[in-house]
Amino acid sequence: MVFQPPPTVSSDHNPVLQPNECSSTLFQTIAAPASVVWALVSDFENPQRYKPFVRSCRIIDGQANQVGCLRRVDVASGLPASYSIERLEILDHDQRICGFSIVSGDHRLSNYRSIMSLYPNGSNETAVVETYVIDAAEANTKEETCAFVDTIVKLNLRTLSRVAEDLAGKAQQQSPELCCNMFLSSLAVAKG
């Protein structure tokens, strides 16, 4: 089955750019139900579950998983940064859309904003669309800036795919009652 994105993809993921900004939209198809994928991405407090460059994360202001809350993300060594402060900008459980912005940190990701949307594609597949906007780094072109960020986002999406597919596979191996309980638990976590 070929994924046909709904019309909202173009409106949710078509940012108006300023002259100094660049943007990219990336797609990932995941062989797992949207409820499983959403339970992972909507948990703003635990991005390390699917973002391999995140060493740890904690909420530093506001209530976890509530729009406006701030998290401190400590980055794994090897990247040109050690931490990032990020604000949850949107968390729509009905439409499965979440977005955040980076408000400070010791990195060159200036004015970074990201939005991610999930689209069920049948009962056991999910299409993920992620769009980001960022100021081009002073020492780099827009293309170089996007190439760097694309590499990180693509790795995050591939890891999200692997983790969600593993969770979905484990759920299918459980008895129907346990599978149902896991599904209901993921909904409770997502609704927070």
CATH of the domain at 99: 3.30.530.20
| Higher-pLDDT residue of 46, 182 | 46
Read off φ and ψ for residue 162, nearest 5 degrees.
-60, -45
Tens of pLDDT, residues 80-98: 789 999 999 999 999 999 9
The C-alpha atoms of residue 5 and residue 92 are separated, in whole angstroms, by 18
Boundaries of domain holding 20: 8-191
Q: What percent of the chain has pLDDT over 90?
A: 68
Confidence of residue 107 (pLDDT cuts 50, 70, 90): confident
Tens of pLDDT, residues 108-130: 788 999 999 999 988 899 999 99
Flag whether 116 is in a domain: yes
Flag whether 2 is in a domain: no
Flag whether 142 is in a domain: yes
The C-alpha atoms of residue 156 and residue 98 are separated, in whole angstroms, by 15
What is the average per-residue pLDDT within 34-62? 97
Q: How many distinct structural domains can be found in the chain?
A: 1
The C-alpha atoms of residue 140 and residue 168 are separated, in whole angstroms, by 40
Flag whether 76 is in a domain: yes
Flag whether 169 is in a domain: yes
Flag whether 1 is in a domain: no
Confidence of residue 176 (pLDDT cuts 50, 70, 90): low
**Burial (Cβ within 10 Å: 0-12, 13-18, ≥19) of residue 26:** middle
Flag whether 67 is in a domain: yes
